[in-house]
Amino acid sequence: MFDQVEAFHRPSSIPEALRLLRSAGRGGRFVAGATDVAVQADRSIRVLIDVTQLGLNYIRRKGQGWAIGAATTMAALENSRAIQSLADGILAKAAATCGSVQNRNMATVGGNLANASPAADTVPPLLALDAVAVLAAARGRRRIPLTEFFVGPNKTVANGALITEIEVPAPPRGERTGLSFQKLGRLEPDISLVSVAAGLQIDRQGRCRWARIALGAVGPTPLRARRAESLLAGQQLNNSLLDRACDEVAREVRPITDIRASAEHRREMSRVLARRALVECVERAG
């Protein structure tokens, strides 16, 4: 599958990785765990630049939130105590569903973002948590909110830049906050047919103070269901409001029919999974 590849580099610094990519031109490609690169077997690749030895494998505190190095594997995310306790564990849970254990030992969160599959499982939790991608390029560093990062299937604004880090702000503080991740695949470790990450903060009067609903595999990019979020924000939470919000989710998604599922099935499952996620958020919020 890599018979056209002429060189494999393993740089030990970010400037060196960027320089190697620049000098490789159109045939150059970053590679981390290679779980997407190997499957895609793109015969235009001539030079592979391994990004796993750049010191980007870490999970550490940044302000009130967390910074996750782009080369952190799914296995490291799912097994990290910090990520398990962040935001009711939604990111750890999503990482734990990214294929088999062998896949998760290799697959990185930076690769999951850069590959930009609409079904990338870490993206809905990261969108629900207002995460930001940190990019390094010859021109310098940029911080891009994930809501602006994806521009189409397998397309991002990164444009040859290296993802170095994902910043994950702390979710809103307060006792009555709950988050949830739900995934529907043929089996759980299979690629998502639909995935949903949701979060709610509820005040003492039972009103919703903060709402997030993010979905994967139901549009050209992972997406936030902003109209459904606005329906919830500031309102008294009850079953009928949750139903209306989930109806709105089903209207907001833009699924396609492919070999895995029909658009109609994905739309209906978006409603069902959003309902499950929101109910779990309410239960966790207490």
Closest approach, Cβ 104 to ligand FAD, in A, equals 8
Three-state DSSP class for 210?
Answer: strand
d(CA 50, CA 32): 6
| Binding test (CB under 6 A) with ligand FAD, winner from 70, 92, 242, 282 | 70
Q: Using the rule CB under 6 A, which residue among 28, 35, 196, 266 binds ligand FAD?
A: 35
Which string of x and - marks every residue 168-207 that binds ligand FAD (by CB under 6 A)? ---------------------x-x----------------
Contacting range for ligand FAD; rule: CB under 6 A; set: 7-15, 19-27, 82-90, 106-114: 106-114
- Considering only residues 235 through 254, tell me which ones interact with ligand FAD, judged by CB under 6 A: none
How many residues bind ligand FAD (CB under 6 A)? The answer is: 31
Q: Counting contacts by CB under 6 A, is residue 31 touching ligand FAD?
A: yes
d(CA 283, CA 248): 22
Task: Specify the 3-state DSSP secondary structure of 265.
Answer: helix
User: Considering only residues 99, 142, 263, 284, which one is a binding residue for ligand FAD as defined by CB under 6 A?
Assistant: 99
Single out the residue of 20, 36, 178, 249 in contact with ligand FAD (rule: CB under 6 A): 36
Q: Contact between 30 and ligand FAD (CB under 6 A)? A: yes
d(CA 93, CA 195) in angstroms, rounded, equals 12
Using CB under 6 A, pick the residue from 72, 80, 112, 270 that binds ligand FAD: 112
Residue 120 binds ligand FAD, judged by CB under 6 A: yes
Q: Which is nearer to ligand FAD, 121 or 130 (CB)?
A: 121
d(CA 125, CA 226): 15
The secondary structure of 46-82 as a DSSP string is -EEEE-TTSS---EEEETTEEEEETT-BHHHHHH-HH
d(Cα 78, Cα 97) in Å, to the nearest integer?
A: 9
Nearest-angstrom CA–CA distance, 201 and 208: 6
163 binds ligand FAD (CB under 6 A): yes
For residue 251, the SS3 value is helix
**Amino acid occupying residue 279:** V
DSSP 8-class letter at 221: S
Burial 19-55 (b: 16+ CB within 10 A, else e): ebbeebeeebbbbbbbbbbeeeeeeebebbbbbbebe
Judged by CB under 6 A, does residue 261 bind ligand FAD? no
Half-sphere exposure of 252 (CA within 13 A, CB side): 24
41 lies in the site for ligand FAD, by CB under 6 A = no
Interaction of residue 50 with ligand FAD, rule CB under 6 A: no
Q: How far is the CB of 88 from ligand FAD (least distance, A)?
A: 20
State which residue, 156 or 270, has the beta carbon closest to ligand FAD: 156
Smallest distance, Å, CB 249 to ligand FAD? 20
Q: How far is the CB of 258 from ligand FAD (least distance, A)?
A: 15
Cα–Cα distance, 4 to 29 (Å, whole number): 13
> Contact positions toward ligand FAD, by CB under 6 A?
29-37, 39, 51, 70, 97-99, 103, 106-108, 110-112, 114-115, 120-121, 158, 162-163, 189, 191
